[in-house]
Structure 1
Amino acid sequence: MHVIYPTVAGEARHQIPPNQQIVRIINHYKRLSLEQLQQRAAKRKHDSQVKDYSFIVKLKVRNSVRCSGALLAPRLVISSSSCLSGVPSSQVHILTRGGSTLPVAKLEWFRSSPEVILITLVTAAPGQPIGLCSTTLKMGDNASMLMASNDLSFFGRRHSQVVSNQACKMTFLQEESVYITPNMLCLQNSQSPEKCVTQQGDALLVDRQLCGLNVYGSRCRARSLNADLYIDLEKLRTLISHFIQKLLG
């Protein structure tokens, strides 16, 4: 098969071998600069991220975006309970990619794990729900901190690893309301405060599975071993799976 492209002035014309059939002639194409190619590559990457991260939602209290959450089923969102402490369900809405705002039917907690909150929606949310972690994370294991802008138009991902709880104790040393439970993991954050932009409810991923949710957000200081606390969702996998089965009927 021969594809014939247009020639530029001064270039030699294409020579067609004898007894060969021309099956396609391209009469027009657009030359792109390096900058245009880079812009197209960036757009493809962004579009891919939007598709991959469609499980991410934002929690709005009245008219203010307060934190992140993750879609576990079409009508179920999970987040950090510290995000909605004392807030009734009537004041909470779920913001999804594309600007849709969905009402909340019910807020529920597990007695054995008050760190998480389960949010049942009135109607199904757009987006692809994410599966829960099947891996037990240990000290030194790698994971990815996922972050999103409040309007869900931009996403960030930071490679991290599980560190000692001592790092989190030092990070949150001045805050009496912060506590560490056996259901939590300590993950290393950036040493640069301006790069510490994790929020409550932000996802922790391992191999495209949801392994944790940020509990309190970031508290970073310059040139320090900064760390964030995450709910260890692998430990709650059975409880959450039963809840989803009950919700789906």
Structure 2
Amino acid sequence: MKKTLVTLLTLLILCSCGKTEKDLIVTGHIKGLKKGTIYLKKIEDTLLVTVDSLIINGDPNFTLHGNIESPEVFFLDLDKNSTEQDRIKFFADKGTTIINTSLKNFVFDAEIEGSAQQDIYEEYLLMISKVNNKRLELIKEQFEAQRDGDSVALDSLVKVSKNLVKRQYLYTVNFALNHNDSEVAPYLALSEIYNAQVKFLDTINKKLTPKVKTSKYGKELEAFIKTIKETEK
């Protein structure tokens, strides 16, 4: 009887350990950080929730843990009230993601190594940043034309701006289609062009590989499109 109880307790302990084991490790170094709290966060049901946290006291190295079923976006915050501008956004997968950055330029200096999805996401961000810079230039020029009362120039700039938005949407659609075997594709559809015509979202959804379709963002895109179609009936 005693041996049976010991065996049962051992099995319970092993099962318990298995359940608490994390399959995502986020580690790295923040140059110049001596004191503060680092938070690992992600979106759950439209809310930003804390997955893990660590109080830094002298040692700028950190290691955080989380659970992940399929590749998804996580965030690294330096304090609980960080804004979007102070938050490092990255695509993670099971295994280890390494983030090295600095306290002075927390987001700008971030170097991220880890998932294949992160590499693809960075490729997208690099291209789209050029479009965003052009949009900022156009906004400035529109403001100046409006200030100077130059309606002809303003109308022209508005048309250019609208065409640029269309180009951005089409680029995102094409990028997603060209990376239909990555979870980045449905994520971009949901985060960057969610208000596009449903036919574009549907095209991306239908081209996703079976593996991506069953991922977190693959399922969310399918459900999102279904909701839109039902609303339009």
- Whether these two folds match at TM > 0.5 is no
Task: State the TM bucket, normalised to the shorter chain.
Answer: under 0.3
Q: Larger RCO: Structure 1 or Structure 2 (Cα < 8 Å, ≥ 6 residues apart)?
A: 1
State the TM-score, normalized to the length of structure 1. 0.20
Give the number of the structure whose residues are more often strand, by fraction: 1
Give the number of the structure whose residues are more often helix, by fraction: 2
